[in-house]
Structure 1
Amino acid sequence: MTVTAPGHATTAGPVADAVRRWASQRPDDTAFTFLDHDADPAGRPVRITWSRLDRRARGLAAHLRRRCAPKDRVLILLPQGIDYAVAFVACLYADVLAVPLFPLTGAGHRDRLDGIVRDCAPTAAMTDTQPQHTGLHTIVVQDVGPGDEPPTPGHGPAYLQYTSGSTRTPAGVVVTDRNFQVNVRQALTAYGLRDAPASPVSWLPLFHDMGLVLGLGVALLTGVEATLLDPLAFLYRPARWLEALHGKPNAISAAPNFAYDLCVRRTTEDDRARLDLSGVAALINGSEPVHATTIARFQAAFGPCGLREDAQRPSYGLAEATVFVTAATGPPTTTPFDRKALAEGRAEVQDDPDRATTLVACGQAVEQEVKVVADDVECPDGRVGEIWVHGENVAPGYWAPTTGVFGATLPGDPRPWLRTGDLGVRHDGELYVVGRIKDLIVIDGRNHYPQDVEAVAERADPAIRRGHVAAFSVPGDTGEALVVVAERAPQVPRVDVEQVRRRVRAAVSAHHDVRVHDVLVVEPGSVPRTSSGKLSRAACRDRYLAAELPVS
């Protein structure tokens, strides 16, 4: 028998075959470790070996086959942990489509679940010991014992990845077994770990596209051990994430921009003194706009812990391309572009900080193609357009067919392209993400990128909570009008609302030469976010128009 060394991604046969290979060749090696901070604030390690994972997944898959036909949809309504990995592998073993989700908590999750159930018509739901009132056949994962029935994996669709819905209703992306395998390989290549055993560490929710690919996919396809944390454990004490990375060789992890800011603000000198981050190969920064100031602060804070400058890897991706599309290849590159020219669709370097918007490069594509397109023609470098993607990682479509996203073509190029809905520009060979097309604010015929307006507004007054500001347009008497919704900072018990409004209006007018129609100061936690933590300007706009935002 040929034994495959850990760290080499396989793309031969279905993902289920890779899991069975690790169970056969290295049965007693650890597949996943979950650090349980509820059981012990220091993080009690809960482990599962490859053989145990295989046998538990076989038992659960046998149960699924008795209830489901091939390619039926099965919801995973589990908290972060080992059972999530078991449930996902069981779906692969049973040839049913996993729908990675979350336990039901709160009305917002209930509404989202109801929409997903209507969209994909699942047959069953897998839960923990807590009752989940779904109206579906419910399987309590812990109640199903290990089994020996051979897996019956299929080909084609493997799972439905529901998008976060930052600009529209969540849609189920049909991710195939091949998409999943290819994207893991592409990501490991991009981050320099194609031929080395990676040490994935993740607190990202496993129902999130990057959480699933990094937290489960890397281990399943390469046979390495993955370390998982609960997102709430990270938010409660960010140092836990860094401590999980401590001392690990070839460590790879990912987080949205706000998490890196949180680590800087909420780790102590004592926390940092105990950290060895010299083995970190890649800290992926994506999912939301990457800020140059965040990168600089994080490096200043954790460079003394051994973190290399090229370990911070600004990246771009989306669920419709499984997750990974581009990544920076060296130390992060930041470029100040002229704000007015950028709004007009041109990327021109501007050295005057008062007239510049600084963007962070997201690098280049690996084993896929990326074009910037306007009016169905590829843009030259320096012109803003929509980001289009072509590659084996691009999903075949949504569960509910939608036009205008998948299968676009260019003149003289019959290949299918994914229209991402994101605006980008190439400069010096690297991709810069400018914003979302649907979020673009157009006032008096001029374009304004909401994240630029938000960045100016949140610095206008210390009473405004950083990262919790939404800018959007609403119908006005003479056209579209600009609105800024800003959360009160939690540490500021009283706020002079009129002063905040004046300062925000003055700052936005000075930097963007546009009048702010309304500034609404709201209570902490009021600006809506998606299930993956992204700012949802569309939802904020809807709540503003419905007068549903709790004002301070």
Structure 2
Amino acid sequence: MARSLVDLLTTHASQQPERTAYRYLVTGDCDGEIQDISYGHMARRSRAVAAWLQERGLAGSRALLLYPPGLEFISGYLGCLSAGVVAVPGLPPQGRSQNHRALTRMKRLIADADAKVILGGREVLATLAAQAEHLPELDGITCVATEDIPDQAADSWREPDLTADSVAFLQYTSGSTSAPRGVMVTHGNLLDNQRAITERMGHTPDTLAEYDHELFVSWLPVYHDMGLIGPVLNTVHLGATATLFSPLHFLQRPARWLTALSRYRPHTSGGPNFAYELCLKHATPELLDGLDLGRWKVAFNGAEPVRAATLRRFTETFAPAGFRREALYPCYGLAEATLIVTGGSVDTPPTLAASPGSGPHVGAADAAAVGSGRPIPGTTVVIADPERREELPEGEVGEIWVSGAGVAKGYWRNALATRETFRATLKDRPDRFLRTGDLGFLREGELFVTGRLKDLMVIDGRNHYPQDLELSAEMSHGALRPGCTAAFSVDGGVEGEQPVIVAETAPDAAADSERITEVIRSAIGEAHGLSVRDVVLVHPGTIPKTSSGKIQRHASRAAYLADALAVVGGPAAR
């Protein structure tokens, strides 16, 4: 039985050395330059990187991975695992225009992980060298461009002594409500979660044979858990083939994703809800005429709130291209549980339900809560009252608590946060649970996620979930960008907490801003019985989001209070 993904890579390289493991669309286009790597070559490249690390006595230390999108990241990551080095995927610097926030995050990763080596691409390392005066943290750290490590180095590779409890990598959280923390994901966590993904998404031997091993198409960033543990690692777990391309190329032209799905016809592909909205925005008749999405079996949707309206519109729009509603696959997971926690059944359409305590209109089909499936095998999900530490009955909203083999070891060098987050207990129950910080409810065994605990707004003694207000606002006017609205509350003095809505809209909507604002206020009042303190329309791309696309409501609130929002049309829009 395999002890790690390293064992599985060795097996696939031995049994099917010529099979393509990954192909990379360099320009994001199927008819552009394509790079690929076979299992035999991938194993050799990974061992070459591993041998380089082993020869420098780095086993057990941390290696920060800073790569541009491409195949070299995978060699570096698997090379770390093959050397017994703890990989730390990071967001690479973006040239001289690197913004202060990204630079600060990279400094934090270097310091917090106590990285001893940085693996990356030549251009990335050249950029780091050019910024050395701003990065004193680099002193004493070895930097190497892994493409400069020759294949022949693999000859001196030694198999590492790995156990299920050995830390494979640190997945730094995106920090939607707090400073990023390094989640210690073990080799055992990885294997358990890979088995769960395989089972829940129907990646059976028969399915792989039917699809000629074309398993994934993905543009998701590989430094994030969804893009890494799903498309990249499930591929090597099963010895299948994945087609990858850059997130930037997707954002520049969302049609590239659909075109790649039509060309390579994989079984599984997906992303956060905003990705489906972007595709809808660019769904021209010409694009639809050239697509064949009939083989897309699992269209997973996670990492941010799943919108019922998005699911409906995506199905209706792309049905002429063969897309089926049954392919929609809402799921739930988080880095602290490796990745997947709940998921549906293949060929089963999503479940919709009214959220408990929601306003009178939230039960409408387009505003319903979307089920994220049932717990994966071996995982327990309970809904808890975090104050009383009691399990809540079915249908009641509380904090989502999780236990199972996929739950990570804890936070790197942060015993207090580990105890608070990973060691929660319920009254009269010995099990230890992971506190997710997410709110939700269970109905007939299925999980419905309703929001973040820290984002919950209490106004006039009633609980209000910001995503409910955001959805009502977005649905009220066509000029508002889906998935680009932030709702939060501010202190209204004697009037108590009051809601504020910040929404992205096109700059050309400035002339109509007063009307849009009135429509939003009316929609929130009608659906939730709330009087909105302020509505702010801002330029596209200016609402703070995490690396996985989640709205950063606390950062939005801070920008609002500091009068630092990029307001469309100036003060008149408020």
Post-superposition shift, 1:259?
A: 0.9
Post-superposition shift, 1:85?
A: 0.7
Q: Deviations over 1:331-360 (max 9, x none)?
A: 11112346xx248xxxxxx78867995111
In structure 1, how many angstroms separate the alpha carbons of the residues matched to 2:373 and 2:567?
A: 41
Contact 1:200/1:218 (8 A) holds in 2: no
1:139 corresponds to which of 127, 137, 144: 144
2:19 corresponds to 1:29? yes
Post-superposition shift, 1:488?
A: 2.6
Q: How does 1:305-320 map to 2 (within 5 A)?
A: 305-320=321-336
The one-letter code of the counterpart of 1:97 is V
Find the counterpart in structure 2 of residue 261 from structure 1: 277
2:216 corresponds to 1:200? yes
Post-superposition shift, 1:536?
A: 0.8
The one-letter code of the counterpart of 1:79 is P
In structure 1, how many angstroms separate the alpha carbons of the residues matched to 2:327 and 2:35?
A: 28
Superposed CA RMSD in Å reads 2.2
2:141 corresponds to 1:150? no
| 1:467–1:48 CA distance, 2 compared to 1 (3 A) | same
The one-letter code of the counterpart of 1:396 is K
Q: Deviations over 1:239-296 (max 9, x none)?
A: 2212222265661112111111221221333322332222222110111111111111
Q: How does 1:323-338 map to 2 (within 5 A)?
A: 323-329=339-345, 330-337=348-355
- Normalised TM-score (structure 1): 0.91
2:257 corresponds to 1:241? yes
Contact 2:307/2:367 (8 A) holds in 1: no
1:118 corresponds to which of 85, 104, 111: 111
| 1:269–1:142 CA distance, 2 compared to 1 (3 A) | same
Contact 1:342/1:384 (8 A) holds in 2: no
Q: Deviations over 1:147-201 (max 9, x none)?
A: 2222433331000111111111111111111111111110111112244325122
Contact 1:354/1:511 (8 A) holds in 2: no
Contact 2:62/2:113 (8 A) holds in 1: yes
Q: Deviations over 1:39-64 (max 9, x none)?
A: x6734221011121111112212222
Post-superposition shift, 1:501?
A: 3.3
Range with greater deviation from structure 2 (98-107 or 303-312): 303-312
Find the counterpart in structure 1 of residue 297 from structure 2: 281
In structure 1, how many angstroms separate the alpha carbons of the residues matched to 2:3 and 2:67?
A: 28
Find the counterpart in structure 1 of residue 393 from structure 2: 380
Find the counterpart in structure 2 of residue 412 from structure 1: 428
- Normalised TM-score (structure 2): 0.88
Q: How does 1:43-442 map to 2 (within 5 A)?
A: 43-105=32-94, 106-107=98-99, 108-130=101-123, 131-133=126-128, 135=138, 136-146=141-151, 147=153, 148-153=155-160, 154-155=162-163, 156-195=166-205, 196-197=207-208, 199-246=215-262, 248=264, 251-329=267-345, 330-337=348-355, 341-342=357-358, 357-367=367-377, 368-374=379-385, 375-399=388-412, 400-401=414-415, 402=417, 403-442=419-458
SS in 2 for 1:410: coil
In structure 2, how many angstroms separate the alpha carbons of the residues matched to 1:43 and 1:76?
A: 27
Find the counterpart in structure 2 of residue 482 from structure 1: 499
Identity of aligned residues (%): 40
In structure 1, how many angstroms separate the alpha carbons of the residues matched to 2:487 and 2:397?
A: 21
| 1:27–1:356 CA distance, 2 compared to 1 (3 A) | closer
SS in 1 for 2:79: helix
Find the counterpart in structure 2 of residue 456 from structure 1: 472
Q: Deviations over 1:455-508 (max 9, x none)?
A: 122334444333211111223313323221122325x25334444433332322
The one-letter code of the counterpart of 2:381 is V
SS in 2 for 1:84: helix
The one-letter code of the counterpart of 2:7 is D
Post-superposition shift, 1:98?
A: 0.7
Post-superposition shift, 1:422?
A: 0.8
Contact 1:248/1:280 (8 A) holds in 2: no
| 1:465–1:281 CA distance, 2 compared to 1 (3 A) | closer
Contact 1:337/1:357 (8 A) holds in 2: no
SS in 2 for 1:408: coil
In structure 2, how many angstroms separate the alpha carbons of the residues matched to 1:26 and 1:353?
A: 51
The one-letter code of the counterpart of 1:46 is Q
In structure 1, how many angstroms separate the alpha carbons of the residues matched to 2:57 and 2:252?
A: 39
In structure 2, how many angstroms separate the alpha carbons of the residues matched to 1:306 and 1:464?
A: 29
The one-letter code of the counterpart of 1:80 is P
| 1:53–1:493 CA distance, 2 compared to 1 (3 A) | same
Contact 2:299/2:328 (8 A) holds in 1: yes
In structure 2, how many angstroms separate the alpha carbons of the residues matched to 1:364 and 1:121?
A: 38
The one-letter code of the counterpart of 2:262 is H
Range with greater deviation from structure 2 (496-505 or 59-68): 496-505
Find the counterpart in structure 2 of residue 4 from structure 1: none
| 1:494–1:519 CA distance, 2 compared to 1 (3 A) | closer
SS in 2 for 1:204: coil
Post-superposition shift, 1:545?
A: 2.2
| 1:522–1:278 CA distance, 2 compared to 1 (3 A) | closer
The one-letter code of the counterpart of 2:297 is A
In structure 2, how many angstroms separate the alpha carbons of the residues matched to 1:66 and 1:532?
A: 36
Contact 2:308/2:365 (8 A) holds in 1: no
Count of residues paired in the alignment: 532
Range with greater deviation from structure 2 (54-63 or 91-100): 54-63
In structure 1, how many angstroms separate the alpha carbons of the residues matched to 2:265 and 2:512?
A: 50
In structure 2, how many angstroms separate the alpha carbons of the residues matched to 1:514 and 1:63?
A: 61
Mark the runs of 5 or more structure 1 residues left unpaired by the alignment.
Answer: 1-10, 344-349
In structure 2, how many angstroms separate the alpha carbons of the residues matched to 1:222 and 1:353?
A: 40
In structure 2, how many angstroms separate the alpha carbons of the residues matched to 1:276 and 1:48?
A: 26
2:517 corresponds to which of 488, 501, 514: 501
Mark the runs of 5 or more structure 2 residues left unpaired by the alignment.
Answer: 129-134, 569-574
The one-letter code of the counterpart of 1:32 is Y
Contact 1:100/1:161 (8 A) holds in 2: yes
Contact 1:463/1:495 (8 A) holds in 2: no
In structure 1, how many angstroms separate the alpha carbons of the residues matched to 2:157 and 2:37?
A: 20
1:444 corresponds to which of 460, 463, 482: 460
SS in 2 for 1:459: helix
In structure 1, how many angstroms separate the alpha carbons of the residues matched to 2:142 and 2:25?
A: 30
